[in-house]
Amino acid sequence: MQISIFGAGYVGLVTGVCFSEMGNEVLCVDVDAKKVALMNEGQSPIFEPGLEEMMNSNIKGRRLSFSTDLAEAVRRSDLLFIAVGTPSDVDGSADLKYVLQVTETIAREMNGPKCVVIKSTVPVGTNKKVRDLITEILAERGVNHHFDVVSNPEFLREGAAIEESMKPARVIVGASSERAAELMGRLYEPFLKKGQPMLVMDPTSAEMTKYAANSMLASRISIMNEFSRICEKVGADIEWVRRGLGSDPRIGPHFIYPGIGYGGSCFPKDVQALIRTGVENDERLEIMEAVVRTNQRQRENFVDKVRRQLGGLSGKRLAVWGVAFKPFTDDIREAPALDVIRAFLAEGATVQAYDPAATEPAKAFFGQVPGLTFSEDQYSVLEDVDALCVITEWKSFREPNFERMKKSMKQHLIFDGRNIYNPKAMREMHIKYFAIGRPQ
């Protein structure tokens, strides 16, 4: 198939690369000329394991190319994917301006039957908005090209996006015609060889499924974080509670790990957008509002724990391991570390931070802030610090050289925001250890 993908960001690029890997001819278009030039040279603008290698393989095979020519992308392909960003507006709703800009371009350049696929995460009702806009512009042009608008939300996890694109657990398709459903079935058939389902439903339900899925996962994280706080109060161990819950088949073991809270480009934005959808439809989503409050409170509690144990933050020297919102990505959007570092600096502490992948995005985010430095080595940030704060659970943090660490640190004090260490082992090494919901 010939496929054009509008937006070569995280979703668009990964989607395009994986479609080309299955033999499709894919053109990814983006308005950022520098990024397009970089990708045409075989360099990925994002950090994602395995992406750049697969991208180069398909560029060499002439199945994947990049361009800034949106009009040509519309004309050359029958299958048009919209994968542009939908950033949160000031009221928490998703901003559709980029989606609608691409839609207008598609409608004005449409030269025959097309299937328009919305891959971006969009509010419920966007499929209809896109359909209505195309219909309006085609009428203005005086042409009557047949077209379909399909909702095909993505469910990728950063850090595992290639694997999950090539072997999806399920594919959600919101289609209003058999023709569109059959076309999507042919496209995804090579990805579903192990019997994973492709669920075809109405577009509105497909849009809702995306928001509901991410909101459900965010809710599981927040409720575990609430459990962790009460565990600290009563002297229970959240690790044993987690195992007890996970062994119940009605609950399962996934997304019940307590920590410093969720971040990233999906959960925070999608939960807020769902809350806004409720407001617009006179239906207050009180559980979702509590999920957001709990997530923010978890970060504040972490800072408070550090403050109390150190007797204040002013003049303290702190090391931070991990700035990305999760391991295996350089994405710092809504990352807990950003709030934690800002709070430390605001109260007069100095911060030395390290992240295996997200140092440059973090530097760009903070700029030249007094009291904040970044290092290329996880041990050098420990020099003469009062405490280490582990924020992101990178593999290299799990089994460090603790004796080497103790020689560098002023105080042998670790605050673990991801519960990656064993409290007993910490005691035996004479390290004062504070985790989330675990015995001190």
Per-residue tokens: 328: 């295996």
pLDDT for the residue numbered 200: 98
Phi, psi at 381, each rounded to 5°: -75, -10
Percentages helix, strand, coil for the chain (3-state, rounded to 5) are 45, 15, 40
pLDDT at 88: 81
Q: Which helix (H) or strand (E) holds 387?
A: strand 387-390
Q: Single out the residue of 67, 52, 64 nearest to residue 23, CA to CA.
A: 64
Region of residue 195 (phi > 0: left; psi between -120 and 50: alpha; otherwise: beta): left
State residue 394's pLDDT score.
97
**Per-residue confidence (pLDDT) for residue 439, from 0 to 100:** 83
Token reading at 237:
């161990």
Nearest to 416 by CA among 394, 377, 388: 388
Cα separation of 404 and 392, whole Å? 20
**What is the DSSP-derived secondary structure letter of residue 167?**
S
Q: What is the CA angle 279-282-283, rounded to 5? A: 80
User: Which of 327, 217, 234, 215 lies closest to 272 in space, CA to CA?
Assistant: 215
Q: Map tokens 């994405």 to a residue.
A: 331
N-terminal to C-terminal alpha carbon distance within the chain = 58
For the purposes of burial, counting CB atoms within 10 Å of the CB of 403, is it exposed (0-12), middle (13-18) or buried (19 or more)? Answer: exposed
Determine contact, residues 165/15, Cβ cutoff 8 Å.
Answer: yes
Note the pLDDT of residue 117.
Answer: 98
394/53 Cα distance (integer angstroms): 22
Nearest by Cα to 191 from 174, 206, 173 = 173
Where is 354: in which H helix or E strand? strand 350-354
The DSSP bridge partners found for residue 88 are 94
- Encode the chain (440 residues) as per-residue pLDDT tens digits: 999 999 999 999 999 999 999 999 999 999 999 999 999 999 999 999 999 999 999 999 999 999 999 999 999 999 999 999 998 887 778 889 999 999 999 999 999 999 999 999 999 999 999 999 999 999 999 999 999 999 999 998 888 999 999 999 999 999 999 999 999 999 999 999 999 999 999 999 999 999 999 999 999 999 999 999 999 999 999 999 999 999 999 999 999 999 999 999 899 999 999 999 999 999 999 999 999 999 999 999 999 999 999 999 999 999 999 999 999 999 999 999 999 999 999 999 999 999 999 999 999 999 999 999 999 999 999 999 999 999 999 999 999 999 999 999 999 999 999 999 999 999 999 999 999 999 87
Residue 109, H or E segment: helix 97-109
- What distance in Å separates the CA atoms of residue 323 and residue 417, rounded to the nearest whole number? 12
Q: Which residues are catalytic?
A: 266
Q: What is the pLDDT of residue 90?
A: 78
pTM, whole model, 2 decimals?
0.92
Measured at the CA of 62, the angle between CA 56 and CA 68, to 5 degrees, comes to 80
The whole-angstrom separation of Cα 43 and Cα 25 is 19
The tokens describing 211, both together, are 């928001």
Per-residue pLDDT, 265: 87
**What is the per-residue burial (b if ≥16 Cβ within 10 Å, else e) of 360-386?**
ebbbeebeeeeebebbeebeebbeebb
Q: Name the amino acid, one letter, at 163.
A: E
Count of CB atoms situated within 10 Å of the CB of 282: 6
Specify burial of residue 346 (Cβ count, 10 A radius: 0-12, 13-18, 19+).
Answer: exposed
CB 439 within 8 A of CB 423: yes
The single-letter code of the amino acid at 300 is E
Q: Which pair of tokens denotes residue 201?
A: 């439903």
Q: Parallel, antiparallel, or unpaired for β 387-390 and 372-374?
A: unpaired
Residue 201, beta-bridge partner list: 174
Q: Which amino acid is at 188?
A: Y
Q: What is the pLDDT, as a whole number, of residue 87? A: 86
- Amino acid 23 reads G
The rounded radius of gyration (Å) of the Cα atoms in the chain is 24
What's the confidence (pLDDT) of residue 92?
78
